[in-house]
A and B are shown apart, each in its own frame.
Chain A
Amino acid sequence: MDALVLLTLFVPFVGFLINGIFNRYIGKKAHWIAVPALGISALGGLAILWQVAGSGQVFENTFWTWIIADKLHVPFGYYIDNLAAIMVFVVTFVSFWIHLYSVGYMAEDRSYARYFAYLNFFVFAMLLLVMANNYVLMFVGWEGVGLASYLLIGFWFHKKSASDAANKAFIVNRIGDAGFLLGIFTLFALFGTLNYTDIFGSNLTVNKGLLSLALIFLFIGATGKSAQFPLYVWLPDAMEGPTPVSALIHAATMVTAGVYMVARSAPLFVQVPEAGYIVALTGAFTAVFAATMALVNNDIKRIIAYSTISQIGYMMVGVGLGAYWAGIFHLYTHAFFKALLFLGAGSVMHAMHDVLDINRMGGLKEKLPHTFWTFLIGSLALAGIFPFAGFWSKDAIIHYSELSGYSIIFYLTLTGVLLTAFYTFRLVFRVFFGEPRDRELYEKAHESPPVMLIPMWVLAFFAVVAGFVSGWFQHFLEAQLPHAHFEHTQAGITLPIITNGLALIGILIAYFMYVKPAVPSSLGENPIVKGIYKILYYRWGIISDWYEIVLMGWLRSLAAGVYRFFEDLFIDGTVVGSAGLTAATGNIVRKLQDGKYSTYALLMTAGFILILYLLVL
């Protein structure tokens, strides 16, 4: 197992090093290193899952102790249980297909090798996060993921919007990371260790208040990385990066980290159900809130981005309510169909010469048949239509939210289903159906090369079948993860009918609005509808503005104050002072170097006599 873990973890890292260091020489051949590296890693992930599933035990090993400081011992080791094995598999498998797709998508880019180096590093960091056997190492991976996302979102850094988006992602994530760090500190204060086995194996009857504080801090970290309310703002902007990167961020390597972290801490969350309730409520609210913003957006990638935020909200509901397997199951199915949707969007952009506005598309069904069918499968899975993958996982979450007794969460998740179906099919209908709205672009559109289509079809296949394993999945994860005790009423037939009915209603509304306009156009003139549209179009007009009003004012003055005192006085003082000290020392010492032999001879003799003194005395 040691060798397998090291192989899976470090092969992408080696790929990153090779492509990163020799990128000038490798150039357009970078994929010959990056893609096989991920292939090996994916096979390793599969082997790990196979072994874990076969033996049903937890694999743990420590290679060496990384940090020793008083009581704090941070080992460098792995902890692979069923949860981590599933994550490793999803991360490596989905990433592999995205890597393959990138070969076609990025073929024209000048910084080809740099792109693949970052991509490999991204996967490495995520694997480190998943496989770590303690919170500190997880945090290392967590930060590595943040760094990689920063580099990739700002990949086209010559575009101001891209570098701004990268900064935004980085800074917003940093706020979440501060929460995560505080959580780690609190956990350390409570348990005196940060290793999973030590914490989970210890007597968990600690101060409930402090424990829930720690968990809330951890969840703040999760809201940053997993783009939950109110720290979701970076994710829509992250669309500035190359499209496969969005697929990677959304499906495999980044936003799922928060969900994973909450699930990883399941033994702690089970102790304090109230903390889980906060997680679930935030998730449910985000699920609907993000969906409303997706309703009216016109940017193909942003719509999918908002859908991700919404779907991660669902996952948070699952893990928050204690139905960990359902949350992770949704993570797993979502990885396939969300990667698929992004790759499809990338394919559309490829065809449309990087146009993102869905108002300029339309009728692409004939031009891009493969893209259309795979995109349709992904959309059906996202909308949760039986029997596609999204149905199984989303229904499981809604089922548990019904059982949990928190009716507000239940109704929010149901509303989310309706909205999701509507905006997803609005996207499908606007892009692929109807008359082309931009003839010129339409004529030039062309289907993508096979290297892009094959990953899409593979993912489409999984978007269909991934949900069928739900029974096994539940059994597999609940074998090792603790879970809240629901009355295990078998999911009846009623709930699936309701959710599918809602989804179909959403699709029909979209159909009648965008394909066969049955909605009177006068409705658009109605001031109330117009007002709602405007609010949604400007993303509630708010969150960013609220940040501006509530936070930025005093943050700016605080920063200015800090700048004045700290920067000018301490930093500049230190820097300038050390420079001055160096110069002053130099002025004194340089007199020794006057170029005169007599001085040198004297100094040499003095040194010799000094050594003699030291030897004799």
Chain B
Amino acid sequence: MTLTAVIFTLFALLGLWGALVVLFAKRPVYNALGLLLNFVSLAAIYIMLNAPFLGVIQIIVYSGAIVVFFLFVIMILNLRDPLSDMDLSFKGLVAFVLMISLLSLLGVYLYVIKLPAWKLGPEGSPGKLGELLLRDYLIPFELASILLLVAIVIAVVLGKKGEEQ
């Protein structure tokens, strides 16, 4: 086991811990922090997977913006008390069974079809990504920007409606 593999596994376990915190924590702030942990570990993993730009963006957008956003909402709504929103009924059990079956199905399937051997691809530097985005994938890029614009408008509208009530 190389050092990279050890570090990778470490971050993978950290990410898993974060995900499990999201799943099981009762205080919303802990959930948000679990999310943050997951995001940061994934950012580290991205950097190890030759995607340094994405790793940085991950930290800026996800950890910086989205998690802070969540925290904002938690503060605004003043969610101090622990939540008791876990579905402990039959449906919750079914959800677990479903996910385990999904995992085992795809686990077996991916194992059987013999995935290609692991290798590191080209490094996703900002320059190369920008070239691709603005040349070959210009239309998805523009569509994404339009989507963001629409999202801004909708967010404003939703906020205004809330004020009127």
Cβ 8 A contact of B105, one of A599, A606, A609 = A609
Say whether A544 faces chain B, with CB atoms less than 8 Å apart: no
Contacting residues, chain A, for B102 (C-beta < 8 A): 609, 612
Say whether B87 faces chain A, with CB atoms less than 8 Å apart: yes
Contacting residues, chain A, for B87 (C-beta < 8 A): 598
Given the contacts A599-B91, A602-B91, A616 and B101 also touching, CB distance less than 8 Å: no
- Interface SS majority for chain B: helix
Asked if A612 and B98 sit within 8 Å, CB to CB, the answer is: no
Say whether A582 faces chain B, with CB atoms less than 8 Å apart: no
Say whether B94 faces chain A, with CB atoms less than 8 Å apart: yes
Interface 1/0 per residue, B80-117 and A, CB below 8 Å:
00000001000100110010011001100100000000
- Interface SS majority for chain A: helix
Residue of A nearest to B113 (CB): A616
Q: Give B residues with C-beta under 8 Å from A.
A: 87, 91, 94-95, 98, 101-102, 105-106, 109
Asked if A605 and B109 sit within 8 Å, CB to CB, the answer is: no
Asked if A605 and B91 sit within 8 Å, CB to CB, the answer is: no
Interface size class of A (residues with CB under 8 A): under 10
Interface 1/0 per residue, A364-382 and B, CB below 8 Å:
0000000000000000000
Say whether A472 faces chain B, with CB atoms less than 8 Å apart: no
Closest 10 CB pairs of A and B: A616-B109, A609-B102, A602-B91, A609-B98, A605-B98, A606-B98, A602-B95, A602-B94, A613-B105, A609-B101
- A609 vs B106: C-alpha distance in the bound complex, in angstroms? 10
Residue of A nearest to B110 (CB): A616
Asked if B94 and A598 sit within 8 Å, CB to CB, the answer is: no
Residue of A nearest to B101 (CB): A609
What are 5 residue pairs bridging A and B, where the CB atoms are less than 8 Å apart in the complex?
Answer: A602-B91, A602-B94, A602-B95, A606-B98, A612-B106
Interface 1/0 per residue, A585-617 and B, CB below 8 Å:
000000000000011001001100100110010
B11 to chain A, nearest CB (A): 28
Contacting residues, chain B, for A598 (C-beta < 8 A): 87, 91
Contacting residues, chain B, for A616 (C-beta < 8 A): 105-106, 109
Residue of A nearest to B112 (CB): A616
Residue of A nearest to B94 (CB): A602
B111 to chain A, nearest CB (A): 12
- A613 vs B106: C-alpha distance in the bound complex, in angstroms? 9
Other than the given A612-B102, A612-B105, A612-B106, 7 more pairs (CB < 8 A) read A605-B95, A606-B94, A609-B98, A609-B101, A609-B105, A613-B105, A616-B109
- A269 vs B143: C-alpha distance in the bound complex, in angstroms? 85
B17 to chain A, nearest CB (A): 24
B41 to chain A, nearest CB (A): 26
